[in-house]
Structure 1
């Protein structure tokens, strides 16, 4: 193994319940022997934490979320960095970016980079950005100021809501970039001048936290009003998750079917979705949990009969990559129905280990739900196949190993 370098990992926020896959990766890198320090652009807003967050040993530093909230900190950073050649080296690319993106956000990212450079974490010799939009902007500027090389992990929203010019330039500046779905990988490769520096790496799942379910899912078929089929979904109440489509699908289910729906996750659309369920006459069949920790989510997977997630491409281009919750649910032999968006078909094959329908089609989604509700044998067959796929191909140890090897290979070249 090449000499280890302490990595400063730049994140949107930390810890975040919706980004368990990142914490899982950080812990995996630490177990592989990498020393990390975490640099977050915002403080946590979730009231709960997953157990994995408490196992990550790296110190966490928070940059000013808004520059006007900590003006003296920003001013001190400017005074400290302005005399250095790196400041002027970064100023040109920042000015060029600002001409194409005349927003306060662009100033904020440059200011955050100044603070990062001025308050440099002791011993850090490498920068790694999680998300190729705002965290990578801060990282790229900080790299220019400090001369420290950087790499990047791109995911979903950050790819599809960023302009091509910005993606192309960041791909050219980073030593390498990894992303977690095949369609994201192909898109980034099409924009990269050196395509060999763009890598595909599925996040995978920490299967130690999602061990095989020793019990059996129920044989409910929707015929018993006293024992309805249990449908669960986990995801933030945001447009790309398609919960309005899922609720509309529930409203289209035949009247003779008995079911209950449970949602887990926070998000700005939660209140609006509750009103939709009430308007369509089944609010009493729905339970809105808000955010839950990983242990509670695992218990819900095991109690449920069907998992549903109606992923879509939102109006602003935002979309999921491969939702980790589909991998989690599949690991528990839970039959899943989702949509043919982004990386979902890279996990679920329609009729083989799940049901996959077109996005934005509540009738198709309702038909898939009805099939799974009425047919416990089908649920069992799909659930078994889904678990086999996850445990064979989506173990997070392989993705951590790939990421670790990318770091170590780059460091060897730096010797």
Structure 2
């Protein structure tokens, strides 16, 4: 089988799980080309990206900047027997979503349809929003089946009318949590259409760490990893840190970028905790792993953003638990599918700053609790969240050899 993989941007540091999936598909014999809707925004890449040997093609990110390519593609595609039906379908979508983004989607689909290899058997999109739309229009133009991976923001911010159409017309959808699967099943009568497979992590890259839970004369090291966006709840976390008893000895390290990072730093100053915080910015996977090894407690205060966006099952929680770190997070989406409150971590309701503060104080005060929950979480990850096992449902969907 040969596939065209359609992604929003490539490569991306924040989407290591996508690269890991592509690498596993490559290892199992899938031939594919990556088509990216956007140029990379950073020169930084993970080691995984270097192992992926597939060709990468970039579709026009801004149509007006590449009119020659667009017109050339349209001149070729307009002759297809499927052209009028596909354009009629797109016009109906445009009536429900009158936006430049909707215009860009059909433009990118036209270019892709004109330039794609003639021996492609399947279009596969990451994720359910923009990339799936490009795949859907391309599928209609070329009469090639398409499938999709659904994750987080794409599941919870795509309009229901659009989800219903995509679920109806795709070959299958695979999603990374039971919570997502339950939600997407509302849009189909076919229970076999929506598949579930956790992303998991490559345990060769995150080997088990024998953590020392009983350190003397060293303050408790707190860690969080994630882009500074609303759904990560970093403002809640800083407020919780500011409410900790003054006699507790702790430092907090944050890894991740984002347009709101400077505002978060100013908030730390306002809360008078900036001297206790280390801002690392964007880091490589090896640097992140080193921070996991050093950390005593991992925190992710996930919440639902005003536009409905939310985390699915953040890989950073799985990575942290693989290193024996007890995790504090929230009861949102699929996080409770990983963290069992009081067993391998602690959970609070989204936005519960006092609850976050209480759980932080509890684990800072108790090394034995950190050890019990850290070991329990590590055991769970190695039993159930190995990427080699989690990828198997997708391998079956592509009809590849295991």
2:78 is equivalent to residue 87 of structure 1:
no
**In structure 2, C-alpha distance between the alignment counterparts of 1:152 and 1:208, rounded to whole Å:** 27
**In structure 2, C-alpha distance between the alignment counterparts of 1:31 and 1:88, rounded to whole Å:** 39
SS of corresponding position for 1:79: helix
The equivalent position to 2:25 in structure 1, one of 16, 23, 29, is 29
SS of corresponding position for 1:338: strand
Name 2:8's counterpart in structure 1.
Answer: 12
13-22 or 186-195, which deviates more: 186-195
Name 2:333's counterpart in structure 1.
Answer: 342
**In structure 1, C-alpha distance between the alignment counterparts of 2:277 and 2:177, rounded to whole Å:** 32
2:257 is equivalent to residue 266 of structure 1:
yes
The equivalent position to 1:326 in structure 2, one of 290, 311, 317, is 317
2:402 is equivalent to residue 406 of structure 1:
no
SS of corresponding position for 1:260: strand
Please state how far the C-alpha of 1:122 moved relative to its aligned partner.
Answer: 5.6
SS of corresponding position for 1:195: coil
C-alpha RMSD of matched pairs (Å): 1.3
**In structure 2, C-alpha distance between the alignment counterparts of 1:50 and 1:122, rounded to whole Å:** 31
Aligned residues of 1:172 and 1:193 also touching (Cα < 8 A): no
2:291 is equivalent to residue 300 of structure 1:
yes
**In structure 2, C-alpha distance between the alignment counterparts of 1:215 and 1:333, rounded to whole Å:** 6
Aligned residues of 1:218 and 1:305 also touching (Cα < 8 A): no
**In structure 2, C-alpha distance between the alignment counterparts of 1:276 and 1:122, rounded to whole Å:** 54
2:247 is equivalent to residue 256 of structure 1:
yes
Aligned residues: 401
122-131 or 21-30, which deviates more: 122-131
Report the CA distance shift for 1:215/1:363 in structure 2 as closer, same or farther (over 3 A). closer
SS of corresponding position for 1:88: helix
Counterparts of 1:380-395 in structure 2 under 5 Å? 380-395=371-386
**In structure 2, C-alpha distance between the alignment counterparts of 1:193 and 1:90, rounded to whole Å:** 25
The equivalent position to 1:97 in structure 2, one of 93, 114, 128, is 93
CA offsets 1:54-100 (integer angstroms, 9 cap, x no match): 01111111001111121111111111101111222211210111110
Counterparts of 1:193-272 in structure 2 under 5 Å? 193-219=189-215, 227-272=218-263
The equivalent position to 1:116 in structure 2, one of 102, 112, 116, is 112
Name 1:278's counterpart in structure 2.
Answer: 269
The equivalent position to 2:184 in structure 1, one of 181, 188, 193, is 188
CA offsets 1:302-353 (integer angstroms, 9 cap, x no match): 0011100000000000000000000000000011100001110000001000
TM-score by length of 2: 0.98
**In structure 1, C-alpha distance between the alignment counterparts of 2:21 and 2:165, rounded to whole Å:** 26
Aligned residues of 1:217 and 1:302 also touching (Cα < 8 A): no
Name 1:175's counterpart in structure 2.
Answer: 171
TM-score by length of 1: 0.95
Aligned residues of 2:211 and 2:323 also touching (Cα < 8 A): no
Aligned residues of 1:217 and 1:303 also touching (Cα < 8 A): no
Query: Which sections of structure 2, spanning at least 5 residues, go unmatched?
Result: none
SS of corresponding position for 1:196: coil
Aligned residues of 1:251 and 1:282 also touching (Cα < 8 A): yes
Aligned residues of 1:331 and 1:390 also touching (Cα < 8 A): yes
Aligned residues of 2:321 and 2:327 also touching (Cα < 8 A): yes
Aligned residues of 1:312 and 1:339 also touching (Cα < 8 A): yes
CA offsets 1:128-151 (integer angstroms, 9 cap, x no match): 001100000000000111111111
2:59 is equivalent to residue 74 of structure 1:
no
**In structure 1, C-alpha distance between the alignment counterparts of 2:147 and 2:238, rounded to whole Å:** 40
Name 1:58's counterpart in structure 2.
Answer: 54
**In structure 1, C-alpha distance between the alignment counterparts of 2:359 and 2:136, rounded to whole Å:** 45
Aligned residues of 2:177 and 2:197 also touching (Cα < 8 A): yes
2:345 is equivalent to residue 364 of structure 1:
no
**In structure 1, C-alpha distance between the alignment counterparts of 2:9 and 2:47, rounded to whole Å:** 17
**In structure 2, C-alpha distance between the alignment counterparts of 1:395 and 1:162, rounded to whole Å:** 30
**In structure 2, C-alpha distance between the alignment counterparts of 1:297 and 1:218, rounded to whole Å:** 22
Aligned residues of 2:211 and 2:324 also touching (Cα < 8 A): no
SS of corresponding position for 1:355: strand
SS of corresponding position for 1:85: coil
Query: Which sections of structure 1, spanning at least 5 residues, go unmatched?
Result: none
